[in-house]
Amino acid sequence: MTSQSQGIQQLLQAEKRAKDKLEEAKKTAVIGSHAVLSGKGKRLKQAKEEATAEIDHYRLQREKDFRHKQSNIMGSQGNLSTKIDEETVAKIQDHNSNYHKNMERVMGRLLDEVYGISPELHPNYAYTI
């Protein structure tokens, strides 16, 4: 949490420096002739580009740091999917071994029930002669 607030503070400071550069560029230009105005415009444009480049550089650095910390804390997604795949294969092998181990016994019980039917009349059936 502290690094996040420090990052926010640094970003605010970078924006403040950019704003200061713009103000400085505005103050250095003397209002008057057309040549001075075009120099002022160039200086403003240059200051704006410098400020934008500085902010972009800082933002990219912070994003890089964040991705690095995230990968360290959470691990890579490839490792998680590999682990899940290994667990799935182990479970499938376990189910297959249980199937082969119990198949004969279950089939025997099933066939005993099917072939072990003794035909007899229902007790409620009434004989009609």
Quote the pLDDT of residue 124: 86
Could you give the CA distance from residue 36 to residue 41 in angstroms, rounded to a whole number?
9
Q: What is the distance, to the nearest Å, from the Cα of residue 129 to the centroid of all Cα atoms in its chain?
A: 81
Q: What is the dihedral of CA 79, 84, 85, 91, to 10 degrees?
A: 150
Quote the pLDDT of residue 29: 61
Could you give the CA distance from residue 62 to residue 47 in angstroms, rounded to a whole number?
23
Cβ 22 vs Cβ 44: under 8 Å: yes
Low-confidence ranges of the chain (pLDDT < 70): 1, 28-38, 75-78, 129
Question: Which pTM was predicted?
Answer: 0.35
Quote the pLDDT of residue 129: 67
Quote the pLDDT of residue 59: 92
Q: What are the distances in angstroms from CA 21 to CA 38, 49, 59, 108?
A: 17, 10, 19, 89
38-65 confidence digits (pLDDT tens): 677 888 888 889 989 999 999 999 999 9
